[in-house]
Amino acid sequence: MRINLTELFTRDGKELDVAAELEMNSFHAPDGEYELVDRTPVRLHIVNIGNRTLTVAGKAGFALMIPCSRCLEPVKVPFSLDLDRTLDMKLSDQQRAEALEEQPYLQGYTLDVDRLVCDELILNLPMKVLCKDDCKGICNRCGANLNKTVCDCDRSSLDPRMSVIRDIFDQFRGESPERRDMKE
């Protein structure tokens, strides 16, 4: 949703309360796209504090469906974001870019609520999401979800640098390396 801010500039101290619906259905994160669920309207309180400067304060609540970092099952991750920004309307887009204070959620006198929430969400994304603390992940051989099934894959991963030592142990057991290679 876009909010036109021009009416706030009629006098200093003018306020605007808005309940804006998020229009986005998914969030494009650096590592994938996540579905947005359980949205509540974004509540914003915008105040003209004078000298063509606005403050924006509010709350956004929703959940994202993010894949578990181990088993890739979707996990519902709730977010409650507190929004608090100061918008200096005296600066042009070029001046903001030069001052390294880009505000992609502000275009002219229009505030893009979806972009404002996305900007805040990027800072609050978790580093790792797990479906449960003891998630077993997926089998690196067959791809089975080890939380749901047990596979018969050989999970012993031997360091290839230790193959010479493994050959010595196999010789003591009476098994030649060539014979072992035929088994594999």
Phi then psi dihedrals of residue 118, to 5 deg: -60, -40
Task: Give dist(CA 4, CA 20) in Å, integer.
Answer: 12
Reported as a single tens digit per residue, the pLDDT across 130-159 is 999 999 999 888 889 999 998 888 766 667
Give the pLDDT score at 95.
66
Give the pLDDT score at 1.
86
Q: Looking at per-residue confidence, does 141 or 15 come out higher?
A: 15
E-strand stretches of 68-163: 74-88, 106-107, 110-112
Query: What is the share, in percent, of the chain residues with pLDDT greater than 90?
Result: 45
Rg (CA), the chain: 27
Give the start-to-end residue ranges of the domains of the chain: 2-124
Which residues on neighbouring strands pair with residue 87, listed in sequence order? 54
Sign of CA dihedral 90, 94, 98, 101: positive
Reported as a single tens digit per residue, the pLDDT across 74-86 is 999 999 999 998 8
